[in-house]
Chain A
Amino acid sequence: MSAEPEEFYVGYEPRMPAATRRFVGRVVLGLLAAAAVLAWAVPALHRPYALARSDFRDVREFEGVLVAEPVPHLVVARPGETGARAFSRYVLVGRGKSGPKLDLEALAGKPVRLKGSLIYRDGQTLLAVKGAEPMEQPIDAAALAGGESLGRFTLRGEIVDSKCFLGTMRPGHSKVHRGCAVRCIAGGVPPALLVRDVEGRDLVLLLVAPDGSAVNERVLDYVADPVEIEGEVVRLDDLLVLKADPAALRRI
């Protein structure tokens, strides 16, 4: 071992001996190559982001009838459409992680001009409200109709906050998003049950109590977990609502 011509190099010496320099150079190149490969591999192995958007900088005006039940929403007539497609219903949420800041008592059931931005995913749309003022305009009574029951179902899915899932956050559901969804639902954003239909499409059903009241505080502990719940599915034009007792929620 005494013949071993090993180099002795301490980091502060300005010149690295040749063999050490070659070795360290190879290690550095290896690290740079690993950084490049991982920069590709790590994002490539993540779940794809959803096609969903929040145009929160693009505040526009919308006109329609404000309805408070089962969740605050704006009913907008679709020009030239009748029957099941006569109205679009935009669920209303606030800015940030909150429900809409509106004087619902004063405005519910009335025509309003509302300022807000769009949040949308797969043909479903939400409005993040900045403000609303009443308008003088006749109301189409059909806008206030109660919806059509599609029957009772036992559904499996995940409780999400409608605002994030429909476009504010990506990912807007599952474990990494859980804390955010809890904060949003606690802040008044309507909770929804996300279920996969037989064709593998995502369906979003707004979740309310059987009497139509909000269940936000009662579902917080189940957010983002796989759950099963039984209830009545009601169609309100292009909204689906699940009226169910949160006490019947079961983790699966």
Chain B
Amino acid sequence: MSVSYKAVQWNRQKLVYDAVLLAALGTYLVGFHQLAPRLDPNVEPMNLRMRAFGSAAFLLLHVVLSIGPLCRIDRRFLPLLYNRRHMGVVLCGLALYHADLALTWYHAYGNLEPVVSLFVSNPAVGSVARFPFEWLGAGALAILVLMAATSHDFWLANLTAPTWKALHMGVYAAYALLVGHVALGALQTNTHPGLTAGVVLGALWILGVHLVAAHRERAADTPATAGADGWVEVCAVGEIPEDRARVVFAGGERIAVFRYDGRLSALSAVCQHQNGPLGEGRIVDGLVTCPWHGFQYRPDCGAAPEPFTEKLPTFDLALRQGRVWVNPRPHPPGTPVEPLPVPGAPGGEAA
């Protein structure tokens, strides 16, 4: 959990992660370069490389976009999410190389600067069939570069989380632009239906996992009915396992009620790092721990332990006839709230 401006922190898990990423990419790129000349002895090496790197970047983008929703659907995908940032940076590198090859191959050695040529040789924006598909690629590339350049937590802290998150939602715009780039470019020259089917299936997959993940979240987000005083019933005390939380959706917010050491505390269930699902986290070493990247918060005040500065809104709890109730009106982030003792629990009596 780094919000300070440390350089990239390495650990064994990140090295394994990157090794797997490079192995998969190597399999694709080396395989592509080895197999294509066997399938077609007339291959043009430069063009082949352009296609290999462009398609590698596009395919990797499908993986990047799938991980978030897959993690929401099945938590066991989480180790893939942990270091997703490196995937984005590698993707950006592949895309830059592809664009550089395309620019050199198709636009250099002429009577204009290649970049100028890229934007003036085909201005047929009014036509679908003739559309300058390269512009869509260039737009996507600009987004990918911006995202890769700001992917470090340094920027997350400095741009503030909401700006950073909005910026990184740009990946969906990049994906849409790239579907256009491929559909109006490569697919118009390479008319094999299998290629078109591949692009369509890819888009349906991305849409599908997002819809399934969103559906599950919405199902979990059915607003709890409030009592006359505005408080909301969460569950029976016994339903919250030790060191874990129950989540209610109330007042337009997800609230996580954690049980630990015979006590209960309520916090916003949205991690300050990247909106991770804190309600699926655990108490580790006495701290609420986010399942995504492991940011931690004190359960009784919502503040991250020193030297970290993230703070979550906290909520008041009450016990009414053995059931837990929460007041959905948040306290300002970081406000200490006296934990609610669980009757009969050892720590509860002590508190």
* Known contacts A12-B11, A43-B40; A35/B31 CB under 8 A: yes
Instruction: Mark the stretch among A66-74, A178-186, A230-238 that contacts chain B.
Output: A178-186
- Which residues in A have their C-beta under 8 angstroms from that of B185? 175-176
- Which residues of chain A from 191 to 240 have a CB within 8 Å of any chain B CB? 221, 225
- Which residues in B have their C-beta under 8 angstroms from that of A115? none
CA distance A20 to B194 in the complex (A): 35
Contact among A45, A49, A175, A177 for B198, CB-based, below 8 A:
A45
CA distance A23 to B117 in the complex (A): 49
Output the residue of A13, A28, A46, A49 with the most chain B CB within 10 A. A46
User: Is B176's CB within 8 Å of the partner chain A?
Assistant: no
- Which residues in B have their C-beta under 8 angstroms from that of A19? 76
0/1 interface trace, chain B 236-268, chain A, CB 8 Å (1 if under): 001111000000000000000000000000000
Q: Are A183 and B31 touching (Cβ within 8 A)?
A: no
Instruction: Mark the stretch among A103-111, A136-144, A166-174 that contacts chain B.
Output: A166-174
Instruction: Mark the stretch among B20-28, B164-172, B322-330 that contacts chain A.
Output: B20-28
User: Is B335's CB within 8 Å of the partner chain A?
Assistant: no
Contact among A1, A6, A49, A187 for B43, CB-based, below 8 A:
A49
- Which residues in B have their C-beta under 8 angstroms from that of A32? 23-24, 27
User: Is A41's CB within 8 Å of the partner chain B?
Assistant: yes
Give the interface size class of chain B: 35 or more
Q: Would you give the shortest CB distance from B67 to chain A, in whole angstroms?
A: 10
- Which residues in B have their C-beta under 8 angstroms from that of A50? 42
- Which residues in A have their C-beta under 8 angstroms from that of B110? 96-98, 183-184, 186-187
0/1 interface trace, chain B 22-38, chain A, CB 8 Å (1 if under): 01110111111011100
- Which residues of chain B from 181 to 198 have a CB within 8 Å of any chain A CB? 184-186, 188-192, 194-195, 198
* Known contacts A10-B289, A12-B82; A38/B112 CB under 8 A: no
* Known contacts A49-B44, A170-B44, A184-B110; A12/B35 CB under 8 A: no
Q: Would you give the shortest CB distance from A216 to chain B, in whole angstroms?
A: 11
Instruction: Mark the stretch among B101-109, B211-219, B224-232, B342-350 that contacts chain A.
Output: B101-109
Q: Are B117 and A179 touching (Cβ within 8 A)?
A: yes
- Which residues in B have their C-beta under 8 angstroms from that of A39? 27-32, 34-35
- Which residues in A have their C-beta under 8 angstroms from that of B23? 32
Q: Are B79 and A24 touching (Cβ within 8 A)?
A: yes
Q: Would you give the shortest CB distance from A145 to chain B, in whole angstroms?
A: 33
Q: Are B111 and A186 touching (Cβ within 8 A)?
A: yes
Output the residue of A28, A36, A43 with the most chain B CB within 10 A. A43
* Known contacts A42-B55, A98-B111; A49/B40 CB under 8 A: yes
Q: Are B122 and A14 touching (Cβ within 8 A)?
A: no
User: Is B72's CB within 8 Å of the partner chain A?
Assistant: no
Output the residue of A6, A36, A178, A184 with the most chain B CB within 10 A. A178
Q: Are A48 and B40 touching (Cβ within 8 A)?
A: yes
Q: Are A24 and B122 touching (Cβ within 8 A)?
A: no
Q: Would you give the shortest CB distance from A200 to chain B, in whole angstroms?
A: 16
CA distance A177 to B43 in the complex (A): 15
User: Is B300's CB within 8 Å of the partner chain A?
Assistant: no
- Which residues in A have their C-beta under 8 angstroms from that of B112? 183, 186
- Which residues in A have their C-beta under 8 angstroms from that of B159? none
Q: Are A35 and B189 touching (Cβ within 8 A)?
A: no
Contact among A16, A27, A51 for B77, CB-based, below 8 A:
A27
Q: Are A51 and B42 touching (Cβ within 8 A)?
A: yes
- Which residues of chain A from 126 to 178 have a CB within 8 Å of any chain B CB? 169-171, 174-178
Q: Are A43 and B13 touching (Cβ within 8 A)?
A: no
* Known contacts A176-B185, A225-B130; A183/B111 CB under 8 A: yes
Q: Would you give the shortest CB distance from A167 to chain B, in whole angstroms?
A: 10
CA distance A16 to B281 in the complex (A): 16
User: Is B275's CB within 8 Å of the partner chain A?
Assistant: no
CA distance A24 to B292 in the complex (A): 15
Q: Are B32 and A8 touching (Cβ within 8 A)?
A: no
Q: Are A43 and B77 touching (Cβ within 8 A)?
A: no
Q: Would you give the shortest CB distance from A171 to chain B, in whole angstroms?
A: 6
Q: Are B109 and A97 touching (Cβ within 8 A)?
A: yes
- Which residues in B have their C-beta under 8 angstroms from that of A51? 42
22 contacts between A and B (CB under 8 A): A8-B284, A8-B289, A10-B82, A12-B13, A14-B11, A14-B13, A27-B77, A35-B24, A35-B25, A35-B28, A35-B31, A36-B27, A38-B59, A43-B39, A45-B195, A50-B42, A96-B108, A96-B110, A169-B44, A182-B121, A183-B117, A183-B121
For the A-B complex with A12-B82, A39-B28 known, give 16 more contacts whose Cβ atoms are closer than 8 Å.
A14-B11, A20-B76, A41-B198, A42-B32, A43-B32, A43-B48, A47-B191, A49-B42, A51-B42, A97-B111, A175-B133, A175-B189, A177-B106, A182-B122, A183-B106, A186-B121
